[in-house]
Amino acid sequence: MPSEHPTTVVLFGATGDLSRRKLLPGLLHLFKTGLLRDIRVVGTSLDDYTTETFRDFAKEAVDEFGGDDGDKEAWPEFAPLLHFAPGSEGAAGLRRTVEEVEATWPDGTDPRRLHYLSVPPKAALSVVDQLREAALVERSRIIMEKPFGTDLASATELNRQLHEVFEEEQIFRIDHFLGKEAAQNILAFRFANGLFEPIWHRHHIDHVQIDVPEELGLAQRASFYEATGAYRDMVVTHLFQVLAFTAMEPPTALEPAAISEEKNKVFRSMLPIEPHDVVRGQYVGYRDLDGVARDSETETFVALKCYVDNWRWAGVPFYLRTGKRMAQGARIISIAFKEPPRSMFPAGSGVGDHGPDHLTFDLADQSRMSLSFYGKKPGPGMALDKLSMQFAMHDTGWAGSVLEAYERLIHDAARGDHTLFTSARGIERLWEISTPLLENPTVVRPYAPGSWGPNQIHQLVAPFTWRLPFERSWRDPNVAGA
């Protein structure tokens, strides 16, 4: 759905890495597709740029990280819409540039403003103060990057200071995980089909795994990570949000307020995170990085068990895992269904040998789903094996319509759609249930780079097993025999 209202995008941190890799190429794609056609972009940062050199920077960014050739063909039309306000000129300079840019619209145009705060966490509130001083709050929305606090007290204080300047409906706390098509497809899959929603509860689901291992290390982010850790960086701001989409009740409508309310109900139903249900790890070599204390107890890995204590999910464990320098990069949600009685099948038939049936959502850019189940092998006797049905977005005619996560979220924020964003109430509740762990963290255990984490993860998930690395390989329909 195009955003037909004229929009001024003010991009703070416009010459940074996120802007170069995601935001500028994403804005070009939204412009080319007509989803954000009537826009002007004002970049600002502390770097010594002019409008011309900023356009050069943006051109290099879209050449390196842009999408298809159609995006790049739109560059000559897009480039004149880019402007730069040097950060050294302060609030007055920013106000002046925004007014000059908005004057290029016809008289009577009343553009909205979308401020993207692509800045370090410690700089976010100073940007908010700058917007207040520049009188750029009215008709505005702001997009904020994580982290949204580091505990309940800091999150509450951050929200208090934000609300002194902006109303809650003006604030969009971004989670790029929920911007991915596969994450949103969970809602469609559950609520638009009669196949799975009737069994989407404790009577039929054994447990749920949300697994986000990462292969990359922290050489470029070690000083930031040292003060944050995997739990604060990934679990509160990403994995719990995915959990809410998986566990929420049907909303009264697919509207932002209704979906946000159901997500918050999940958060309110979550039991506190107890230290004995958490495994923290640190990959060998992390302490040798610049900016890391030699006796650091910061976790680069975390796995945990948590519960949603409501009628639908009481007693069903949710297992979450994420970490750096792991064996494989992946982003999956795996629903394990309860196994039926096996007494009717002869011994040695193979039933149950490969664990329960699983429904798996792959949240990576390929946007894939698979369903594993038992079936009979051809031939005499009753010999069974695990089979799999799979769907991948790139195998359909829709592949070219998929928006990258940041593109989707920028577009939603421009339209005022909060569906995929975190609310102040939600984030404060997540820090509240995290308090037992934050106040009494478990010991950090070493793990080898390229592994799946500390050995204690197997005790955490027992009597089950982690779905990764045993998830069945995805078939490529273009390969013979696949």
Is 338 a known ligand-binding residue?
no
Mean pLDDT to the nearest integer, 329-343: 87
Q: Which residue type does 402 have?
A: V
Is 15 a known ligand-binding residue?
yes
Is 375 a known ligand-binding residue?
no
Q: Where are the domains of the chain?
A: 7-145, 180-401+424-471
pLDDT at 71: 83
Phi-psi region of 126 (alpha: psi -120 to 50; beta: other; left: phi over 0): alpha
Q: Is 238 a catalytic residue?
A: yes
Q: In 3D, which of 50, 169, 47 has the Cα closest to residue 118?
A: 47
- % of residues, the chain, pLDDT over 70: 92
Whether residue 343 is predicted with pLDDT greater than 50 in this model: the reply is: yes
- Rounded to whole angstroms, how far apart are CA atoms 360 and 388? 10
Domain 180-401+424-471 has CATH 3.90.1150.10: no
H or E element, residue 172:
strand 171-173
Is 18 a known ligand-binding residue?
yes
Pick the CATH number of 7-145 from 3.40.50.720, 1.20.1250.20, 3.40.50.11540, 3.40.50.2000: 3.40.50.720
Q: Is 260 exposed, middle or buried (0-12, 13-18, 19+ CB in 10 A)?
A: buried
| Residue 396 binned pLDDT confidence (cut-offs 50, 70, 90) | low
pLDDT at 3: 57
Residue given tokens 């950090």 in the structure block: 444
Q: In 3D, which of 147, 149, 231 has the Cα closest to residue 444?
A: 231
Q: Specify the higher pLDDT residue, 197 or 390.
A: 197
H-type alpha helices, 66-217: 69-73, 75-78, 90-102, 124-133, 152-163, 181-191
Among 202-211, 385-394, 458-467, the minimum mean pLDDT is found in 385-394
- Tell me the per-residue pLDDT of 243-293, one tens digit each, with 9 for 90 and over: 999 999 999 988 888 999 999 999 999 999 999 999 999 999 999 999 999
| Residue 189 binned pLDDT confidence (cut-offs 50, 70, 90) | confident
Contact 213, 330 (CB under 8 A): yes
Among 35-39, 111-115, 299-303, 348-352, the minimum mean pLDDT is found in 348-352
- Tell me the per-residue pLDDT of 442-471, one tens digit each, with 9 for 90 and over: 999 999 999 999 999 999 999 998 988 866
pTM of the model: 0.90
pLDDT at 80: 96
pLDDT at 469: 80
Is 324 a known ligand-binding residue?
yes
pLDDT, averaged across the chain: 90
Is 16 a known ligand-binding residue?
yes
Task: Indicate if the alpha-carbon torsion angle 415, 419, 420, 423 is positive or negative.
Answer: positive
Two structure tokens written together for 165 = 């300047």
Catalytic residue among 83, 207, 238, 358: 238
| Residue 181 binned pLDDT confidence (cut-offs 50, 70, 90) | confident
Whether residue 481 is predicted with pLDDT greater than 50 in this model: the reply is: no
- Rounded to whole angstroms, how far apart are CA atoms 361 and 184? 11
pLDDT at 480: 45
Whether residue 216 is predicted with pLDDT greater than 70 in this model: the reply is: yes
SS (H, E, C) 385-448: EEEEEEEEHHHCCCHHHCCCHHHHHHHHHHHCCCCCCECHHHHHHHHHHHHHHHHCCCCEEEEC
